[in-house]
Copies of this chain bind each other. A is one copy, B any other.
């Protein structure tokens, strides 16, 4: 199934689904660098976070196979796609995992809700160098051309130098013309929050229902953050890990809650 093992095996997924323009763009670019295997959700899975499917069976359908390229759609989440892709399709690990191009920013706390970035974290948990690419425009009709140069530069670097173990990259690309792009800025995740909000409606039977909506509120967004970088026409690159320990608070809590060393 994967005859070109001499070429890098490149795993591609996303959370906007198998038909999203961002996935097609990313796939086209990645085919320049190796044998591409796409396993992506059969429908939009934005906001599914690190969800996995345990209560319903998963399906995997081959939808394309040609020289240097295989594609599968899956009825699960982005993390399911990574797990099924590695275990069932590749029967092993790829040389690199890329996820996206996400339609919409995954800067700041958006990473917590993002299926695109969950797939990336899942890849890095298997020690696969993994990168998420997101474009700061939610429209599926937006022009993604400005992403090309960034994706090529970062993928070439990672194929050559790898990423330190347990770390992956959250790359966000501003929606500007290429001539206005100021370059890459390595930075940290900005503070921020989504204020909860709902659209309250009544169904034909008279029962209330709610649509989730929300408003992103910036909190910390100094010049060392991804939100600042995007707002100032830089590509933001945040190295990300899956250790959520708030180290600084450990001594405080030890005093309060008691602790046996």
Interface residues, chain A, CB within 8 Å of chain B?
A: 44, 46-55, 57-60, 77, 79-80, 82-84, 86-88, 109, 111-113, 118, 121, 125-126, 153-154, 157, 161, 163-164, 166-167, 169-170, 182-189, 191, 193-194, 196-198, 200-201, 203, 207-212, 214, 234, 237-250, 252-254, 256-260
Q: Is the CB of B125 within 8 A of A60?
A: no
Q: A58-B210, A259-B186 are in contact. Are A238 and B245 (CB under 8 A)?
A: yes
Chain A interface, >50% SS class: mixed
B193, B198, B208, B259: the one contacting A125 at CB < 8 Å is B193
Cα of A95 to Cα of B170 in the assembled complex, Å: 34
Residues of B within 8 A of A84 (CB): 196, 198, 210
Q: How many copies does the complex hold?
A: 2
A88 (CB) vs chain B CBs: closest residue = B198
Q: In the complex, are the beta carbons of A234 and B260 less than 8 A apart? A: yes
CA distance A58 to B47 in the complex (A): 15
The answer to whether A52 and B54 have CB atoms under 8 Å apart is no
> Given known contacts A49-B48, A244-B189, is B239 in contact with A249 (CB within 8 Å)?
yes
Most buried by B among A79, A83, A249, A250: A249
Q: Measured between C-beta atoms, what is the minimum distance from A215 to chain B in Å?
A: 12
User: How far apart sit A260 and B164, CA to CA, in the bound complex (Å)?
Assistant: 22
Known: A196-B126, A260-B185. A83 touches B212 (CB 8 A): yes
Give the residues in chain B near A112, CB-CB below 8 Å.
50, 121, 125, 242, 244
Q: Find chain B residues with CB under 8 A from A194 CB.
A: 125
Bound-state Cα–Cα, A234 to B109, Å? 32
Residues of B within 8 A of A154 (CB): 257
| Closest-CB distance, A176 to chain B (whole angstroms) | 15
Residue of B nearest to A200 (CB): B88
